[in-house]
Chain A
């Protein structure tokens, strides 16, 4: 009875949201949770005949989930997915309330949830996933998440409490890989990784957090470091070392900022992602691994789904603004930002570049991370740089100390858009790098001028 009320309340709230046009995804979940605190467990557990998949990690959650969703589509498997980035407990409840009938039954075979790292222990103990994917762990919004080691420890305890859950882990991230080291009862994790990468690299990389053996604190030996602490490494003999990936991306070839190609275990057909960046290869190989171990589908379905995937909302999305080509590149931590510099800005040095840095709760209130990102690699950037957001001055200061000239500040977003227009011409390509809340507001302002983007909201 209690859960019936909770579902009704959430459904009413969802309807109201849609009518008023407010995009809030947490409120319906919050209402349902108030009425029945076990609502998430009741709605998810044992409700999906082909399993529950959870994707977590610092960077790449949304894109990896989207890749998996596309594979499910291609394979004709029905699924429920928390799409709009609502990856905390209440967002998951809202997603479920939307997709169940009043008795809490769902008409889908698979649940696919991206879950915020901080909510992992609570959410996963409630829903007992069949598969958990960890993309990577980097310092991120330390004001919200606390220290990395604590997150890793909470994951390790969680995995012990879920002995039947399959673990899909990044072999190239020592901290993530260590989560599958010497599991009890001969349980084995599935590992993904990248075998080689010869594309551009950041030279001023200050984002390595986990270059030490997590058990002994001895330094790991890297034979190749791709970015941050991601790469091929070795530990001391007999101790923790990089596990051999079950699924490894090889022959990684990047073409401009258009696409990136690779194959898996040197045996698969070539996969071509219509988006650039080594980080997307990691997201794709993670999704590939999940599909291989827990979805009953053919390799061809996996590969065509990856080939046809487009960029996810705001993450490297192309929009049209007054006949200018705008590329939106969400930034939230130094590693992600470095990947964007590495992928886009080292190649196209003469574009208009716009940073919009907010310090609202969802952005992380602490902006110190800007000082750890590799703006020094932008030295010699020839384009004009505009800076906006509630922390525009901090951003401008960071660029000053990186030795960049030609930076203009405009905190107000409407004036910033006018400046973008003034500093570009028709058919110009513009890179906008916003933090999360800045992305939402900039995107809605730009989308008002772009019919294609408007559809994306629905």
Chain B
């Protein structure tokens, strides 16, 4: 069995909202099922290995994002090829913004994204902060905490991750949250996102296994605690 390889992009510059928790959940849920896995940290200037099965990128401060955006541009075609061919990817907050067409920040002007998602983001005066509750066709109820001043909107065809029931989501207006394109997800939910939304975690794992060319059926895990935590968070939203 070949180990599932997760590339964690820019943990040094892009992990301010408990992003480490997302990677931990992916890794543990494979460990508990006896699925070998490996997390590689990719920093600015590092090469992205060719044999990765999943990509994760978290959120950062605006300042860090400028440097990261340049580095992402250098990896742009590799990341896009990966996603276009069905590779699973999760991007949160700042990472999500940088995978869109561009992000207009308040202090650093327009930061070019790699254009994997048909979205653009702009800094706004309102900081969208609080518990958030989303209904997703694919995953059911999703919970998290959002904290962003960038508002994201779709340009052209794009499918949202879900509809906002409580909170803001992509922007204060259209009640849509996140984006999903093939097996790549962008979202504003942290808290961290995956611990309380294990269905998404398992879906990403399934896609990664498939992408690695293996055929492993995922064993059910006891998610009682995960579900209690999700319900508790949903009540708070």
The chain A residues found within 8 Å of chain B, CB to CB, are 139, 142-143, 146-149, 206, 208-209, 211-212, 217, 219, 359, 365-372, 390-391, 393-394, 396-398, 400-401, 403
Contact = CB atoms under 8 A, between A and B. Distances in A.
B195 A401 contact: yes
Contacts of A391: 232
B158 interface: no
A367 B131 CA distance: 10
B20 interface: yes
A345 B131 CA distance: 31
A225 to B, nearest CB: 13
Given A143-B129, A398-B195, A369 B228 contact: no
Contacts of B17: 142, 366, 368
A369 B61 contact: no
Interface in B2-18: 11-13, 15-18
B192 to A, nearest CB: 5
A143 B147 contact: yes
A394 B16 contact: no
Nearest to A204: B20
Interface stretch (B21-29, B48-56, B83-91, B111-119): B21-29
Contacts of B67: 217
Given A359-B236, A394-B233, A401-B25, 11 more contacts: A143-B145, A368-B18, A371-B24, A372-B18, A372-B21, A393-B232, A396-B229, A397-B196, A397-B226, A398-B195, A401-B195
25 contacts: A143-B129, A143-B130, A146-B127, A147-B62, A149-B61, A208-B12, A212-B13, A212-B64, A368-B17, A368-B18, A368-B21, A368-B191, A371-B21, A371-B24, A372-B15, A372-B18, A393-B225, A396-B225, A396-B229, A397-B196, A397-B225, A398-B195, A401-B21, A401-B28, A403-B28
Contacts of A143: 129-130, 145, 147
In order of increasing CB-CB distance, the 3 nearest A-B pairs are A371-B21, A368-B18, A371-B18
B128 to A, nearest CB: 11
B61 A148 contact: yes
B2 to A, nearest CB: 24
B33 interface: no
Contacts of B190: 368
B182 interface: no
A370 to B, nearest CB: 7
B127 A371 contact: no
Interface in B41-79: 61-64, 66-67
The contact size tier of chain B is: 35 or more
A111 to B, nearest CB: 33
A58 B180 CA distance: 37
Contacts of B147: 142-143, 366
Given A217-B67, A401-B24, A401-B195, A365 B16 contact: no
A372 B20 CA distance: 6
A369 B18 contact: yes
B130 to A, nearest CB: 7
A410 B233 CA distance: 16
A203 to B, nearest CB: 14
Nearest to A218: B67
A368 B25 CA distance: 13
Given A149-B63, A366-B191, A397-B225, A206 B20 contact: yes
A370 B16 contact: no
B63 A393 contact: no
Contacts of B16: 139, 142, 147, 209
Nearest to B43: A219
Contact of A397 (B11, B63, B66, B195): B195
Interface in B189-237: 190-192, 195-196, 225-226, 228-229, 232-233, 236
Contacts of A396: 225, 229
A219 to B, nearest CB: 8
Given A149-B62, A370-B18, A401-B195, A365 B131 contact: yes
A368 B192 contact: yes
Interface in B147-182: 147
Given A372-B18, A397-B229, A147 B61 contact: yes
